[in-house]
Structure 1
Amino acid sequence: MKMPRIVAPLLLTWLTACSVLPKAETPSIYRLPASPLSHAQGDAVRWSLRINTPQAGRMIDSPRIVVLPEGDVVSVYQGARWSDSGTVLFRNRLVDAFRDDGRINALSNDDAALQADISLTGNLSAFQSEYRNGQPTVVIRYDAQLVRTNGMRIVAARSFEVTEPATGKAVPEVVAAFGRADDALARQVVDWALQQSVSKN
């Protein structure tokens, strides 16, 4: 069966156009680098802790790697993504840090929804790279609260901020700076939480 004279040229044109369309870019997926914390020498505590995913703005609560190239301009690194949202990566790093420390045996996160004596919650107001003097610097800012789940009473609160310059402008170098910054902040949060008088009684 012969193809109609009008349809054949149109089909040829469509096939030619399809062959030159740009292919969708496959982004590079990055995990948040982490170095294990040293195991603490102190005694284990008798209370349990649940670590909640922090609240955050839409840009941070996503897999995009946020960068502030100048002033108040907010952008993201093209062709690069986190393996999960920034808030979940941050929470998981805190869980690992408390587990590495070893002084809290009864440890969980809000995915499991298990009952705990104390919950660690807060707001992740910065999880980004900022250009300072022409060089990217990672900024992580976390406003933490320890809340007694029986009665929902805040027993301690503190703001944490860590900055870490990247060794270069390439995305892998920025990602490595994120890992160093988050390691430092996680260590501070663990030490602070375990210094509080938050026994279950």
Structure 2
Amino acid sequence: MTGQPLPILAALGLALAVSGCTVFPGGEPPRVMDLALADVAEATTTGYGRSLRVDTPLATEPFDSSRILTKPSPNEYQMYGKVRWRDTAPVLVRELIIGSLRQEGRFDAVINESSPTASDLTFTSDLYGFHSETRDGQVSVTITLYGQIMDNRSRTTLCTRNFEVSEPAVAGDIDAVVRAFGAAGEDLRRQVRNWLGKCLG
């Protein structure tokens, strides 16, 4: 009698293993999206003569994830199905800023927080918005970031700025929304470059 339940348990375990091996229905993987950004022209003005560390922005849920978010009403967030960013939103914003500043070439070096190299300045930030919204039938993308520049030697804050960019999407489908995110990212990095020029120039 003690050995009879084993075949039943084994069959049940096999059924659970087979049914649980696929995360998405029909085995369809999610679409993995990235921000489409244009190249930045190299700086034609004098360099800063300093190095910069860009920390990953701090963010809470639901922004600290790789899901693409929409806000159909003022008090609700939803996620687009079967699609995600290639990394979390804070990492995308960090790499957007780093890539832009490296291409511009005004800093001696631009690194992230995992680099063992020392830097003269640090860019820290908080990410409060990285989502699409629908207002009066129009879909738009919003990125909200609070940033500050700190002198690493004196530990003093040199400049602060709240960035909020909004870009309309030509339609409500995910491809149009992702293109709007790319346009908003272009606007954000342009504002960051101009802000740094005024702060450090």
TM-score (norm 2): 0.85
Provide runs of 4+ in structure 1 moved above 6 Å.
none
2:134 counterpart residue number: 131
8 Å CA contact 1:166, 1:177 repeated in 2: yes
Displacement of 1:31 in angstroms is: 1.0
Displacement of 1:77 in angstroms is: 0.6
SS state of the match for residue 114, structure 2? Answer: coil
**1:58 and 2:57 equivalent?**
no
1:21-60 equivalence runs, <5 A:
22-60=25-63
Give deviations 1:89-142, integer Å, cap 9, x for gaps: 010000111012111121111122421110001111111101111121100011
1:115 counterpart residue number: 118
8 Å CA contact 2:48, 2:200 repeated in 1: no
From the superposition, tell whether residues 157 and 33 of structure 1 become closer, same or farther in structure 2 (CA, over 3 Å): same
CA distance in 2, matches of 1:106, 1:71: 41
Displacement of 1:143 in angstroms is: 0.5
**1:172 and 2:175 equivalent?**
yes
Query: What 5-or-longer segments of structure 2 have no aligned partner?
Result: 1-6
CA distance in 2, matches of 1:113, 1:82: 27
8 Å CA contact 1:37, 1:187 repeated in 2: no
Displacement of 1:24 in angstroms is: 4.5
Give deviations 1:76-95, integer Å, cap 9, x for gaps: 11111000000000100001
8 Å CA contact 1:32, 1:178 repeated in 2: yes
Letter in 2 for 1:118: L
Give deviations 1:5-32, integer Å, cap 9, x for gaps: xx9xxx8xx98xx79x953442111011
1:3 counterpart residue number: none
Letter in 1 for 2:120: D
**1:147 and 2:150 equivalent?**
yes
CA distance in 2, matches of 1:57, 1:33: 25
2:192 aligns with one of 189, 192, 195: 189
Displacement of 1:148 in angstroms is: 1.0
Letter in 1 for 2:150: V
8 Å CA contact 1:143, 1:160 repeated in 2: yes
The number of equivalent residue pairs is: 186
Identity %: 32
Structure number with bigger Rg: 1
CA distance in 2, matches of 1:58, 1:123: 12
